[in-house]
């Protein structure tokens, strides 16, 4: 399935980026642009026309939820190493539609209260309502990523979590949510450049944290933890998409594409009037 408004794809991007059996993260080139033979300029055109389509679909989805009983919603889950571009996706892809229809949650280190509950407790509370496009900037996957790498939980608890995630996501999908799980995949070299830029520019210092370097030193462990996530939680009902992200324009275009496909799959129609249009016209005219 291909998003109608993006004209320059040369392949089925969903198929190309989806994590299927036998996927190896190490074989995925972060600088590649799978399915897109044209360059940045065509990409910018496609992104702009995609904005219009995304806005239209989002408004229809929202409209339905205001009038009909619909259970449809979308949930974009964004995971990545630091500086891979989650913020840019939020700003330039998600931020292009009406804020009314968006529910964005940035998950931080769990609070004391959150730690008293199961790791999915805080996630469950932030699932999107019908009609809404939810966005998770980090997610329950942190609990099997940093959770595993930093040994924040015993190994058997990490094991249990993969299955718990699959069950949880099955329930989410069955309740009408299109789940779009994206890992933005950058190279270690590209991350180094981006972190260095944050150090070079005073207006970027706030985005830098010494802890970012600590995490970077565990790069191979994180790549392994991601591979385990893909092996264990890329399911038929909730597959993962690994989006090469060294080229920001490609990553934004590809994520926009995945959102468009999810919304086209819902195919939201303008809801019918729940009132008699002529009657209301007459009432209004009389005022």
Spatial neighbors of 43 by CB under 8 A, at least 6 apart, are: 8, 36, 249, 250, 253
For its own copies, give the closer residue by CB, 22 or 210. 210
Adjacent-strand bridge partners of 155: none
For its own copies, give the closer residue by CB, 26 or 284. 284
Closest CB 103 distance from its own copies, rounded Å: 10
Nearest Cα to Cα of residue 187 among 18, 13, 28, 77: 28
Closest CB 111 distance from its own copies, rounded Å: 14
Residue tagged 């959770």 (tokens): 147
For its own copies, give the closer residue by CB, 27 or 206. 206
Closest CB 104 distance from its own copies, rounded Å: 5
Closest CB 47 distance from its own copies, rounded Å: 17
Which residues would be at the binding site for its own copies (CB under 8 A)? Answer: 63-64, 66-67, 87, 90-91, 94-95, 97-100, 102, 104, 106, 137, 192, 195-196, 199, 202-203, 205-210, 213, 216-217, 270-273, 275, 277, 280-281, 283-285, 287
Backbone angles phi, psi at 207, to 5 degrees: -85, -10
Neighbours of 249 (CB within 10 A): 19
For its own copies, give the closer residue by CB, 24 or 66. 66
Contact indicator for 219, 192 with CB cutoff of 8 Å = no
For its own copies, give the closer residue by CB, 35 or 130. 130
Backbone angles phi, psi at 139, to 5 degrees: -170, -165
Nearest Cα to Cα of residue 262 among 138, 179, 170, 183: 179
Closest CB 25 distance from its own copies, rounded Å: 20
């Amino acid at each position: 399935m291909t998003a109608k408004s993006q004209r320059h794809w040369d392949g089925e991007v969903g198929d190309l980026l989806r994590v299927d059996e036998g996927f190896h993260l190490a074989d995925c080139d972060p600088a590649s642009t799978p399915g897109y033979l044209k360059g940045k300029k065509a990409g910018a055109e496609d992104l702009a026309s995609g904005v219009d389509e995304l806005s239209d679909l989002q408004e229809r989805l929202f409209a339905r939820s205001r009038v009909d009983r619909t259970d449809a919603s979308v949930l974009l889950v964004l995971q990545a190493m630091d500086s891979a571009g989650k913020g840019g996706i939020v700003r330039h892809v998600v931020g292009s539609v009406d804020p009314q229809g968006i529910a964005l949650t940035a998950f931080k280190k769990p609070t004391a209260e959150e730690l008293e509950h199961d790791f999915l407790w805080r996630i469950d509370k932030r699932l999107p309502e019908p009609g809404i496009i939810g966005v998770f900037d980090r997610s329950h996957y942190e609990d099997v990523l940093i959770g595993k790498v930093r040994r924040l939980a015993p190994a058997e608890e990490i094991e249990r979590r993969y299955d718990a995630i699959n069950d949880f996501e099955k329930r989410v999908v069955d309740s009408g949510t299109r789940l779009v799980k994206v890992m933005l995949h950058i190279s270690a070299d590209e991350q180094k450049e981006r972190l260095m830029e944050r150090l070079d520019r005073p207006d970027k210092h706030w985005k830098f944290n010494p802890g970012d370097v600590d995490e970077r030193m565990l790069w191979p462990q994180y790549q392994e933890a991601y591979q385990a996530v893909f092996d264990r939680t890329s399911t038929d009902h909730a597959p993962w998409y690994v989006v090469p992200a060294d080229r920001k324009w490609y990553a934004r275009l590809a994520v926009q594409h995945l959102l468009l496909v999810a919304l086209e799959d819902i195919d939201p129609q303008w809801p019918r009037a729940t009132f008699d249009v002529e009657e209301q016209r007459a009432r209004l005219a009389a005022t």
